[in-house]
Amino acid sequence: MSNAVGENVTVDEEQYYHDANLGAIWSASRTLIAVVSTLFGGLVFSYFYLRSLNSHGLWDPNGIKASPLLGTIIMVFVLASAVIIQVVNRRLRMGITIDWQVGALAALLLGVLAGAFQIWILTRLNFMPGSSGYAGIYVASGPVYALVVLLSMYWLETLIARSVRSRRATAQDGGIGVSNQPGAENFRASLDGFTVFWTYFAVLSIVIWYLLYVL
Amino acid sequence: MAIKTTSFASGGDGGRAVAGEKKGFRLNAFTGLIAGGLGYLFGHWMGNAIAGGYQQVIGSGQNDIAILLGFIFGTIGWFLGLGILNYPLKKMAGIEPPLEGYEFEPGVMKYFRFTLDNKVVGIQYLFGMLFYFFTAGLLALGIRTELLSPTNHIWGPATYLEIVGEHGTMMMMMMTSVVMGPFGNYLVPLMIGSKRVAFPRLEAAAFWFTPAAYIILLSALWQGGFQSGWTGYAPLSIQQGVGQDAYLFSFALLGFSMITSSINMTATIINYRAPGMRWSRLPMIAWGMITVAFTMLLSVPILIDGLYVMGLDRSVQTAMLYAGHGGSSFLWENLFWFFGHPEVYLLALPGFGLTMEILPVFARKPLFGYRTAVTGMVGVAVLSFFVWQHHLFQSGMNPDMRPLFMLTTELISIPTGFIYLVGLGTLWRARMRFDVPMLFMLAVFFNFLFGGITGVYVSDVPVNVTVHGSYFVMAHFHYTIMGQLIFAVMGAIYYYAPLYFGVKLNEKWGKIHFWTMFIAFNSTFLPLFALGLLGMPRRVFEYAARLQHLNQWVTVSSYVLGLSLAFFVVTFVWQLAVTRPKSPLNPWQSRGLEWQVGYPIPPGNFDKIPVILSGPYEYGDPNALPVADLTPAEPSAVGVSSGGEI
């Protein structure tokens, strides 16, 4: 990390900014976790605030919830997507790019389906948006959840597209998962950032599922 | 050393933004406006198609869904028209476009484009922020004009409240970026010895959110305004016309701007510091930026949640802010103030950063208690998350909770006091130079004394109960925000004009500006304390006749304040555009790294990555090393990480 070389400090500029860039991706992906946590934190606060107030007994007077079956499917899809990414990342690090690409496509498909199901549920609700506190919170949470899932899938899609586009450039030195080319290192940094974020979001999805469909 | 981009997505291309090579037509703010207008029309049409037949739309004649979809698609169009979305679309095809900048382009058109040069973005922000500030200032004069008389009116009551809401929202919303935008983006890379920021596209996009937010917010005026004021309390905000949609959408846009800007700022300061730029050498502006950025990242999403909830209640008829259907208007108050009170410190911390940066230059002494000042800034940032409930002291909250939040609010005066005392310590026995920037910085201390001390009073529950909603509170926060932040910004403009524009602003005109502004500011806002104690409530356009003389005094003073600021605008523009009085290099003899690169600043900030040798505030120390070696020997294979020890 540091280098004490007295008066004659010199810096390999290209390497320096490359390392800085990798660090920036690391910082930004973790920052993103903080931002998304706060975003959902506000909604979770609203959930508990209205639930604890239970104004005029209207938190959830008839016990009507959004479809637990679909809610569970969404949560499982996100969870499965995160697990697949974790598994195929190991294959990528072993230089088996094609396995990663296939696995990432499957994870992408599951994520997109989860987002799509979330939107679909919102069109099939068995309560009116203003019928209760729970109804309001559900209608508020659904689009945010779908948006975060779909934006995450956008991130994954860019990684898949990049791995495909760089196939030839990195083929000679073992593929994008092991290559020492700056572009490959940059790709892996972004993939690491995505994996940490998506794993975190999968855990967050369990919490949200419990609050919205079970509790 | 020119850094080349590699053929495949290196991501390590970041030594320097590559000059745009494309000739001919390029997307700009005008194409953005056209695309934004078309997007708005499309969204509005879609909203009418979707919700035109809804019962509440037919019944009220008000289609909030159409308005909000218009804003959403209008903003997407604006971004498309500016070319901001080209990059994310190319990424979908796996293409990693190089960093393109227009920094070599002569003329002013680059300031109307989405550009990746941190200095261009800083100047875009500077003029943008001044424009927003003066718009809000004109609205303030409209308020004061109405209050010349307790009974004769210029505006109707509804119009008056619209103006009050616009003024408050524009000031509190737009001015969150008044330091990070123009000064953070421009100066931080220079100060930490970097050729670039971490995410130039995020940085540039953060600016282009602001004109969209400004236009949408201003559009509320001809859509009936929003009489809920900048705090947007429910249920009034739910019952308002479509002007309230403009409020919530523009505020949310600014929220996204703050988040994107903060992600870039934190990543830049953490990762792009030059070798030798240890945390203990980090300039105070950079400390101000990173503390504010973290505060924004953890508070702004909650504001966006609140605005989103308000938008849903208004458009799709949820009832989260309406007690009759299981909601609560206090939910909004909590979500809003969880952002709203840290926001006060989002405004104050960068102002202190500027002040701490500039004071030692004119005191010719090291910053007294660097670590204490940093501790103060971090302390304020952390504690700012634990005070928001003091805004709800009279909301009917559990009385047992009030002492807790009273205590936390009072506690925050301790780290604030650290910063204040560091400033005073820096001035102690200094041989000060009373140039215009220094006068503004001294005024910051004078003004903040009123704002800070009254802040301790109003956090006490008994006083709070007495003065809540009165002009006393208004005087308090104008002293802390305008008296501190805006004075610091004005001083910084005079201070950094030679670096930004190669122009040293006229000292005599600057002093006329300073003294008129300083006297008129105090003459405007000091009497408001008295008015508040005499019982004048906020947001009313009629008041007791016995308060007329004081109100007239305040209004006339506000006109002088307005004239003073108009004088600044005229002389500033005149000197930049017409006379351009050339500044010597580093006219203030600052040790700051940003001043060592000369003028004009090279396109990539530095020819080589500098090596930092000492701190920026070691004034008066004959043995102090120069702040940096700007021309270290030729590159070798030695790896040195960001901020590494030297």
Residues B477 and B451: their CA atoms lie apart, in Å, by: 6
Cα–Cα distance between B290 and B437 in angstroms, integer? 24
Q: How far is B490 from chain A (nearest CA, A)?
A: 32
**Which residues make Cβ contacts (< 8 Å) with residue B295, sequence separation at least 6?**
B342, B345, B346, B349, B381, B384, B385
User: Two tokens at B549?
Assistant: 């003389």
Residues of chain B positioned with their CB less than 8 A from the CB of A42: 301-302, 304-306, 335, 338
Give CA A65 to chain center in angstroms. Answer: 25
- Indicate if the pLDDT at residue B309 is higher than 80: yes
Residue B325 has a pLDDT of 85
- Considering only CB atoms, A161 lies closest to which of B94, B268, B304, namely B94
**pLDDT, position B641:** 60
pLDDT at A9: 58
* Cα(B35)–Cα(B55) distance, integer angstroms: 32
| Chain A residues close to B272, C-beta within 8 Å | 20, 24
Q: Do A130 and B15 touch (CB under 8 A)?
A: no
pLDDT at A7 over 70: no
CB B350 within 8 A of CB B293: no
CA B101 – CA B91 distance, rounded (Å): 18
Q: How confident is the model at residue B16 (pLDDT cuts 50, 70, 90)?
A: very low
> For chain B, what is the domain count?
1
Per-residue model confidence (pLDDT) at position B633: 72
CA distance B415 to B418: 5
* CB contact at 8 A, B558 and B144: yes
User: Of all residues in chain B, what percent carry a pLDDT higher than 90?
Assistant: 80
Residue with tokens 């600016």: B207
CB neighbour list of residue A153: distance below 8 Å, 6 or more residues apart: A108, A111, A112, A115
Alpha carbon distance B153, B259 (integer Å)? 41
- B634 confidence band (pLDDT: 50, 70, 90): low
| pLDDT tens column, B111-152 | 999 988 899 999 999 999 999 999 999 999 999 999 999 999
Asked if pLDDT for residue B7 goes beyond 60, the answer is: no
- Which residues between 80 and 109 in chain B have a beta carbon less than 8 angstroms from any beta carbon of chain A? 88, 91-96
Q: Which two tokens stand for residue A84?
A: 């697949």
Distance from CA of A165 to the nearest CA of B (A): 6
Of A8, A46, A60, the CB nearest to B320: A46
Considering only residues B377 and A57, tell me which one the structure prediction assigns the higher pLDDT: B377
- Provide ipTM, 2 decimals: 0.93
Q: Name B217's Cβ contacts closer than 8 Å, sequence gap at least 6.
A: B166, B169, B170, B173, B246, B247, B250, B251
Tell me, what's the pLDDT at B5?
A: 31
Helix (H, G, I), strand (E, B) or coil at B412: coil
SS3 B629: strand
Residue B503 makes CB contacts below 8 A (sequence gap 6+) with: B497, B575, B576, B580, B581, B582, B583
For residue B393, pLDDT beyond 80: yes
Q: What is the pLDDT of residues B217-249, one digit of tens each?
A: 999 998 989 999 999 999 999 999 999 999 999
Banded pLDDT at B100 (limits 50, 70, 90): low
| C-alpha gyration radius of chain A | 22
B87-95: which pairs have CB atoms within 8 A and are 24 or more residues apart?
Answer: B87/B201, B88/A154, B91/A158, B91/A161, B91/A162, B92/A154, B92/A157, B92/A158, B92/A161, B93/A161, B93/A165, B94/A158, B94/A160, B94/A161, B94/A162, B94/A163, B94/A164, B94/A165, B94/A166, B95/A165, B95/B9
| Cβ–Cβ gap A21/B198 under 8 Å | yes
* Cα–Cα distance, B359 to B510 (Å, whole number): 17
How much is the pLDDT for B3? 35
Residue B20 clears pLDDT 80, i.e. is over it:
no
* Residue contacts between A and B (CB atoms, under 8 Å): 271
Euclidean distance between CA atoms B404 and A117, whole angstroms:
44
CA distance B552 to chain A (A): 44
Query: Among A112-121, A160-169, B359-368, B599-608, which is the least confidently predicted range?
Result: B599-608
Q: Is the pLDDT of residue B486 over 90?
A: yes
Q: What are phi and psi of A115, to 5 degrees?
A: -60, -45
What is the tens place of the pLDDT at every residue in B338-372? Answer: 999 888 888 889 999 999 999 999 999 999 999 99
Distance CA B85, CA B88 (A): 6
Question: Which residues of chain B make contact with A18, given a CB cutoff of 8 A?
Answer: 10-12, 14
- Confidence class for position B22, pLDDT limits 50, 70, 90: low
Cβ-based contacts of B381 with chain A (< 8 Å): none
The domain ranges of chain A are 13-59+66-214
| Confidence bin at B646 (pLDDT 50/70/90) | low
Query: Which pLDDT score is estimated for B267?
Result: 97
pLDDT in tens, B500-517: 999 999 999 999 999 999
Torsion of CA B55, B59, B65, B71, to 10 degrees: 170
Residue A23 has pLDDT above 80, yes or no: yes
Q: Which residues, in sequence order, are bridge partners of residue B470? A: B537
A183 → chain B, closest CA residue: B10
pLDDT at A103: 97
pLDDT of A8: 54
Given a cut of 50, is residue B606 above it in pLDDT?
A: yes
What pLDDT does residue B645 have?
Answer: 58
Report, as an integer, the average pLDDT of A106-125: 96
Q: pTM of the entire structure?
A: 0.93
User: CA B550, CA B149: separation in Å to the nearest integer?
Assistant: 11
pLDDT at residue B280, as a whole number = 95
As a whole number, mean pLDDT of residues A61-74 equals 92
- pLDDT, chain B, mean: 91
Interchain CB contact of B632 with A (< 8 Å): yes
3-state secondary structure of B83: coil
Contact status, residue A54 vs residue A164, Cβ threshold 8 Å: no
B447-474 residue pLDDT tens: 999 999 999 989 999 999 999 999 999 9
Give residue B20's Cα distance to chain centre: 30
Give the pLDDT confidence score for residue B104 in this predicted structure: 60
> Who has greater pLDDT, B100 or B497?
B497
Q: What is the pLDDT of residue B2?
A: 35
Cβ atoms < 10 Å from Cβ of B515 = 13
Contacts of A189 in chain B (CB under 8 A): 11
On whether residue B116 sits in a domain, the answer given is yes
B480-491: average pLDDT = 96
Task: List Cα–Cα distances, B43 to B35, B91, B223, in angstroms.
Answer: 12, 26, 17
Give the mean pLDDT of B300-304. 97
Within an 8 Å CB–CB cutoff, is residue B641 touching chain A?
yes
Name which of A16, A60, A129 is nearest B609 (Cβ-Cβ): A16
B334, burial (CB in 10 Å: exposed 0-12, middle 13-18, buried 19+): buried
Cis peptide leading into residue B600 (ω within 30°): yes
Task: Give me the mean pLDDT over the A164-187 stretch.
Answer: 90
- The token pair that represents B344 in the structure block: 């006060």
Answer for the pair B180, B292: CB distance below 8 angstroms, yes or no. yes
User: Tell me, what amino acid is at B264?
Assistant: N
pLDDT 10s digits, B185-224: 999 999 999 999 999 999 999 999 999 999 999 999 989 8
DSSP code of residue B627: S
B residues 316-335 lying closer than 8 A (beta carbon) to A: 316-320, 322-328, 330-331, 334-335
Min CA distance, A176 vs chain B (Å)? Answer: 11
Cβ distance A128 to B317 less than 8 Å, yes or no, reads yes
Residue B421: pLDDT band by 50, 70, 90 thresholds? Answer: very high
pLDDT band at B276 (very low <50, low <70, confident <90, very high): very high
**What is residue B397's predicted lDDT score, i.e. its pLDDT?**
84
Whichever domain contains B127, its CATH number is 1.20.210.10
Task: Report the share of chain B in percent with pLDDT over 70.
Answer: 93
Reply yes or no on whether the pLDDT at B639 is more than 80. no
**Stretch B19-26: mean pLDDT, rounded?**
60
- Mean pLDDT, to the nearest integer, of B514-529? 98
Name the token pair of B544.
Answer: 């007791």
Asked if residues B122 and A194 have their Cβ atoms less than 8 Å apart, the reply is no
Chain B residues with CB-CB distance to A50 below 8 A: 320, 326-328, 331
Nearest to A28 among B11, B94, B199 (CB): B199
Helix A13-53 and helix B284-315, axial crossing angle in degrees, nearest 10 = 40
B26 within 8 A of B15, measured Cβ to Cβ = no
Superfamily of the domain at A13-59+66-214: Cytochrome c oxidase, subunit III, four-helix bundle (1.20.120.80)
Structural domain boundaries, residue B256: 102-275+282-579
